[in-house]
Every structure is written in structure tokens, then in C-alpha cells.
Structure 1
Amino acid sequence: MSIETSADATFEVIPLTVETWPAFDALVQRHNGIFGGCWCIWFHPDGPERGQGAEANRELKKQYVEAGAAHAALVMDGDEAIGWAEFGTPTELPTLHHRKQYDAEKDQDPDYRITCVFVDRRYRRRGVTEIAIRGALDLIAQAGGGVVEAYPHDLTHQTKKMSSSFLYNGTRRLYERLGFSYVRPKGLKNCVMSIEVAKR
């Protein structure tokens, strides 16, 4: 648990657990399951249960949480979850966009990945994405640290503005501010970035 301050408010960051599931559940329900009912299970292992509709995805995500195989930093405003950053090991989160390119160009897998960040529409453009990512890095440090990869949108050469609702993993500039190093491109608009997190 940590306390984070944005420009206009103070938020608490807590881990996604069985106990905090109801707050996460309420956040996703408020946004119709996120990205067409994904429930943030896209990066988990592929299988027949995945992608069978919003309610099936919800149940699958809950099962991962109950098994200790789904991790996220939840940003809380009081009792209400207003954002999250999903993280986990490559075993927990093996599915990536542009996976064929990623596998062909990687030297080795990281210890952890940050794969998805989401903010309640009422709280966007208030620094909550950065708070969520910092929260994930803090939880990773508590779990033993290691090399952490993220796959943000690289908008450094893009002139057309992109809606924040589509920035499911933040931007390259945001991760640079947090100390990540650019590693290589991934697909047309994303990249691989990395940071080493010390054990806490």
C-alpha cells in the first residue's frame, strides 16, 4: 500500500487481491468490461475460456485472481478503484501484440511485464496512469524486483493526436519520465522499454 499525490488529489495504491476484487470489479463494470468486454485477460495465456464474451472473461479474470496468477496495482480514491496497471511474469502474461516480432528480436524474457493500464474516464488527464505504473513498480520491488518491460505507444514521430482511451499501456514519454530505457520498436506504433527494479 502506498499513498500517491496528483496535482489535485491524494490516492492510495493497493494490490489486486481476492479482498480488493470487488473494487476492481466495479471499475470494470462501470466501463462495460473494458475494450469490448476484455476484462483485462487478453495478455493472460490463450485457451478455450478466453474471449467467450464479457461475463466469461470476468469469471476467468476472477479465477486468475483467486489463484494468485493475476496482479495489478489498483489506484483508489477512497473505497473506489479509479485505475490500474496490470503486471506479472512472462508465464502469467505470455500474450503480446506483435509476438512473432518480439520473440525473434528478444535476447531473453524479463522478470516482469507491465501490459495494460486503464483509468476511469472521470479521472483521465490527472496523472493517474503514472500513479498506477509507479504502484506496479513498487509492488514488483516488494516481490523481489528484477528487470521489468513495458510496451507503450511510441508517439514521438506521430503528429495526429491519439485518444487516451486507446492508450492501453501509456506512452513512451511517460515511461521515460519514470526511468525506463527505450529498447526497440514493436509493431508500427509500440515499443519495448525496460527498467531494473531493486528488491525492497
Structure 2
Amino acid sequence: MTWETFPVTPDRFEDFADVVNKNRRQNHCWCLSHRLKAAEIEELGGTGADSREKAMRRLCEREHPPGVVTYLDDEPVGWCNIGPRSEITRLAESRLMPPIDDVPVWSIICVIVRSGFRRRGVTGRLIDGAVEYARSNGAPAVEAHPVDPPGRMDLTMAFVGTKTMFEKAGFEVVGSTDAVASKMPRLVMRRDLT
């Protein structure tokens, strides 16, 4: 088995779409709702049925594409929405999830494993690849805001991940937030890269 992880540049957009929106539903999240405000999405993608897809395509053209895709034997199997916290408007301006210090962290805001590839070790490879992407761009640390569920998580929206999932990837709990996901408080977990 060969694992590789790459930033979602325009030439990898279709691979990203195969992971998050295989059927190309226009009203699908496109992994924008937790990253940008509605006005920003409209500014990037205009209006109309395909505005969200257009907005995500435009984000992929930026210096820091909005995340990474992990491949298993050249097939796209996972997506991680990651970037400098300062470029993730909804997080940067959140009153429920303020920064815990002045470190210019990169933040993971969503992790998705493609249907048919779950329980095969994709998540660990995906997070490791996302951390390496951040490191290669000079990030001093990567943060995530998972939950610590007593049972199964509600996966109907962005999957913020679990405490255990991030602990396995070398993250440590450094705080908590006032935000909730699936009726559970979200933690602040960090992996220092310095």
C-alpha cells in the first residue's frame, strides 16, 4: 500500500470533490461552511446553483490551499480542511473558540474519510499528512477542536474528530472552548512543530 498526501491545488480539485461530494450536489457543504462567512462564499463564487463549488475552486488557487487530500494507491480517500487560523474567517472571528495564545497556529476544522475506506487507517495518515503540509509552510503548531464523545458521533456535518483520534496523532489537550459539536464541548488540542 502506498500513502501520499497533497495540498488541494486546482489540478487536484476533482480528487477532493470525489471525497467530499462524489455526486457533485450543488447545495452540498463543499467544506466551506465552517471556514468562510456566507458573504465571502458569495464573493468567491458568485450566486447560483454552483456558487459553492466555484468558491472552493477559487480557494484552491490561493498560496495556502484550504486543505489536503490523502491517497491510497493513487486513489483519493481522505480530506482534511486545514490552514492558517488567520485565513479561516469563521474560526479567526469566533467568540466561542478564541485563540488560547498568540502562536500563529494552523487549524484543522474538518476531517473526512471517503465512504468505503473507513476503518482502514486513513484518518491517521490524513492527519499526519496535514501536519506535514502545515510544517512545510512554516507553521509552529497545528490545532484541532475535537470532542470527547461517550459514544458514537453525529456525522451529519463537518467531522471535527475525537480526542482519541488526535491523541494518536501526537496532539495534546491544551484547553477547551465554549463551542459544542454533537452536544459535546469542543476541546483545544495542539501539536507543536518547533
TM-score (norm 2): 0.81
What SS does the corresponding residue of 1:91 show, helix, strand or coil? helix
Partner residue in 1 for 2:83: 88
Partner residue in 1 for 2:131: 137
Contact 1:110 1:149 in 2 (8 A): no
What SS does the corresponding residue of 2:55 show, helix, strand or coil? helix
Partner residue in 2 for 1:57: 52
Counterpart amino acid of residue 32 in structure 2: I
> 1:10-25 counterparts in 2 under 5 A?
10-25=2-17
Contact 2:82 2:130 in 1 (8 A): yes
Matched, 1:41 2:2: no
Shift, 1:75, TM fit: 0.9
Matched, 1:113 2:104: no
Counterpart amino acid of residue 87 in structure 1: I
Matched, 1:99 2:99: no
Counterpart amino acid of residue 12 in structure 1: E
Shift, 1:19, TM fit: 1.8
What is the RMSD of the two structures over their aligned residues, measured on CA atoms? 2.7
Q: 2:68 aligns with which of 70, 73, 82?
A: 73
Between the aligned partners of 2:92 and 2:146, the Cα distance in structure 1 is 11
Partner residue in 1 for 2:148: 154
Shift, 1:47, TM fit: 4.0
Shift, 1:116, TM fit: 0.9
Identity %: 27
Deviates more, 1:189-198 or 1:48-57: 48-57
Deviates more, 1:16-25 or 1:71-80: 71-80
Partner residue in 1 for 2:192: 196
Contact 2:19 2:79 in 1 (8 A): no
Counterpart amino acid of residue 40 in structure 1: C
Contact 1:152 1:171 in 2 (8 A): yes
What SS does the corresponding residue of 1:101 show, helix, strand or coil? coil
Deviates more, 1:46-55 or 1:132-141: 46-55
Shift, 1:25, TM fit: 2.5
Between the aligned partners of 1:102 and 1:80, the Cα distance in structure 2 is 34
Partner residue in 1 for 2:119: 125
Structure 2: stretches of 5+ with no match in the other structure: none
C-alpha change, 1:32 and 1:98, in structure 2 (3 Å) is farther
Between the aligned partners of 2:33 and 2:65, the Cα distance in structure 1 is 12
Superposed CA deviations along residues 54-88 of structure 1, whole A, max 9, x for unmatched, are 62111000011113343322111344311111111
Matched, 1:183 2:177: no
Between the aligned partners of 1:73 and 1:14, the Cα distance in structure 2 is 5
